[in-house]
Amino acid sequence: MNKLIIGNFKMNTTPKEFKEYSIALATKCKGTKNDVVVCPPFTHLSVAKEILSGSNVEYGAQNICEEEKGAFTGEVSAKMIKDLGASYVIVGHSERRAKFKETDRLINKKIKTALANGLKVILCVGENLQTRESKQAAIFVRKQLDDDLKGMYENELEGVVIAYEPVWAIGTGKFATKKDITKMVEVIRKEIENQFSAKAAQSINVLYGGSVNISNYKNIISNEAINGALIGGASLNVDNFSVIARENY
């Protein structure tokens, strides 16, 4: 089964390091049937354009400003990213929600801005440990989806990928079981069906993210309930990431 494998570099590597990484990744990913995407920091996107254009590795940003342009010192717009050839942007990552206090309302605005500028959105949702332990994870994720996708049309959803990233599994070495993932993906698809349609629920790509690495990736990604994975730490090693990207699932 063809999968979507996305690397999220977070705030790691320099543009120079990324250049070497990209040259290696493009070479190693030649001929892979999976869709491969890397999301480095903004400062690396011109390098991505230089090295990855014409390869079968796509690239994206990790964030955008919800506004189109103007007096927003320090922000980066969707149009700027698009102009550098990015196809994707990650929106609503739990680190942005928790550390930069991004609300669902803001995330909803960012999604709309990204789509209006022709970017595909990787929307991250997922519960923290406390919510999970109090058995509220499904309710919590449903509410995130409800708020984040508010006011959107079904045809716009074609540009959205959902990444289920339980916060307790991010960077911790703990990862969700196949049963946990399958159950939550069902919840996500059901919510999309309620908000949009059964067709939308079936066709939307849902990924898993959280401590996917070179030792556990096969078991996790081969799960037919998911369409791929969003990989943080393990994507920084080009040998490991390309093994994951080249696998026949």
What binding mask, one character per residue, do residues 61-100 give for ligand 13P by CB under 6 A, x or -? Answer: --------------------------------x-------
By CB under 6 A, is residue 231 in contact with ligand 13P? yes
Q: Which two tokens stand for residue 19?
A: 């250049």
b/e burial code for range 71-98 (CB count within 10 A of at least 16 → b):
eeeeebbbbbbbebbbbbbbbbbbbbbe
- Quickly list DSSP for 107-148: HHHHHHHHHHTT-EEEEEE---HHHHHTT-HHHHHHHHHHHH
Least Å distance, CB 241 to ligand 13P, is 11
**Count of residues touching ligand 13P (by CB under 6 A):** 14
**Catalytic annotation on 158?**
no
Least Å distance, CB 141 to ligand 13P, is 16
By CB under 6 A, is residue 232 in contact with ligand 13P? yes
Rounded CA separation 174/84 (Å): 35
Positions 2 through 31 that interact with ligand 13P (CB under 6 A): 8
Among 65, 170, 181, 220, binds ligand 13P (CB under 6 A): 170
Least Å distance, CB 100 to ligand 13P, is 14
**Catalytic annotation on 44?**
no
Backbone angles phi, psi at 135, to 5 degrees: 60, 30
Catalytic residue selected from 58, 66, 93, 95: 93
Half-sphere exposure of 204 (CA within 13 A, CB side): 32
Catalytic residue selected from 66, 102, 165, 191: 165
- Residue identified by tokens 């159950």 is 183
Reference 38, options 210, 238, 207; nearest CA is 238
- At 151, the amino acid letter reads G
Q: Which two tokens stand for residue 154?
A: 């079904």
For residues 67 and 247, which CB has a smaller minimum distance to ligand 13P in the complex?
A: 247
Task: Determine how many CB atoms are found less than 10 A away from the CB of residue 1.
Answer: 13
By CB under 6 A, is residue 230 in contact with ligand 13P? yes
Least Å distance, CB 187 to ligand 13P, is 20
By CB under 6 A, is residue 207 in contact with ligand 13P? no
By CB under 6 A, is residue 211 in contact with ligand 13P? yes
Positions annotated as catalytic residues are: 93, 165
Site for ligand 13P, rule CB under 6 A: 8, 93, 165, 170-171, 209-212, 230-234
